[in-house]
Structure 1
């Protein structure tokens, strides 16, 4: 997988990529959708990978202020952290990365992102780009470009780990190489990109210039 390819840094989405927060998120969004009279089953798949304010704005519901509704949803999600767990192997894999060579770029607000990472026991990187840090959310590439820039690199030289179509599109628009994480997918996702179901067995090697290459973990080897 990417044999011989070295990357300047690794950039990660959060929900569905390094943590599984689907149950908690869908509990909160189900209640909201029911109050709006939406078809819950049809609506829930659309919430993943995008900022709440853009998801709500896209519905164009009469009398609904997307900013106020997104703020209310943030409070509800921050209060419901039950069942949030790491994607298999993610804690060990993230812990193995050079601290200055990885970042998280999430559609979640920073407050919620930190709460969910803590609940899942995920290492907190030095660089986090959250919903409020960009004007345009995924599928725009802004969050990944900003995360790479904060690390001192160009997104085109990075490997981006993503799970949702909006995030994959954002990574593609940033010109990065993409790794799709399928751990939370209920149906196969058609994608031209490399894909893994978990981080188990995945390791890295780092060259003398800091370039990172994927490799089998020592335990797997």
Structure 2
């Protein structure tokens, strides 16, 4: 393992910033049901389209398609309502609930591309309590891969992004964390293909714990 790959486990951080979907919860089946139906209704190649929608705000995903006569705001609102209605199979990643519960509540935040109401529905379905700090789609002008969300998340913790570790699962979010100036840890539990990354990787939260020192700095410790 290279120094770059092991770095997240060799350092301590003042704050942790978590993406939500694919990083602390698995909502892929529900998201792909809703987005697949939408893509088919617009005549898109569903197989080619699906990988492009993960990790980004719905309004950004739709806007980038430049579909004639399609209003990205209106369409993304319709998709959000469909996603709120379909939470079947939304679950926490293994070990995520206990891992998050072990962290000082003022030291971590969720930074998600999901709208607020959808984030609340999915966290509830997965059994994850709403954190003290959360950044959702409505809080930023530009979504991931722009770093705005992670910069805002760090600000809400009263920290610099360089003092934070970002937990992510897809390229749009990884790029956002990098651009924010934070270290990145890639969660691979929901990946169907190996991810090519120089960042530290972790399957899920079953074999890792957070150590909090006397100054509130957090570090990751592998179990066993």
Q: TM-score, normalised by structure 2?
A: 0.95
Q: CA deviation at 1:123?
A: 2.5
Residue of structure 2 aligned with 1:73, choices 79, 88, 98: 79
Match of 1:43 in 2: 49
Match of 2:149 in 1: 143
1:157 and 2:163 are equivalent in the alignment: yes
Residue of structure 2 aligned with 1:206, choices 188, 206, 212: 212
CA deviation string 1:181-212 (max 9, x = no partner): 00010000100000011111211111221111
Distance 2:9 2:168 in 1: 20
Distance 1:192 1:3 in 2: 14
Number of equivalenced pairs: 218
SS in 2 for 1:204: strand
Match of 1:54 in 2: 60
Q: Equivalences for 1:124-143 in 2 at 5 Å?
A: 124-143=130-149
Q: CA deviation at 1:47?
A: 0.7
**Runs of 4 or more consecutive aligned structure 1 residues displaced over 4 Å after TM superposition:** none
- Contact preservation (8 Å) 1:91, 1:122: yes
Distance 1:161 1:47 in 2: 18
SS in 2 for 1:45: helix
Q: CA deviation at 1:62?
A: 0.2
- Contact preservation (8 Å) 1:94, 1:123: no
Q: CA deviation at 1:156?
A: 1.1
Distance 1:196 1:206 in 2: 19
Give the gaps of 5 or more residues in structure 2: 1-5
CA deviation string 1:45-67 (max 9, x = no partner): 11100000000000000000000
Q: TM-score, normalised by structure 1?
A: 0.96
Residue of structure 1 aligned with 2:107, choices 101, 118, 130: 101
Give the gaps of 5 or more residues in structure 1: none
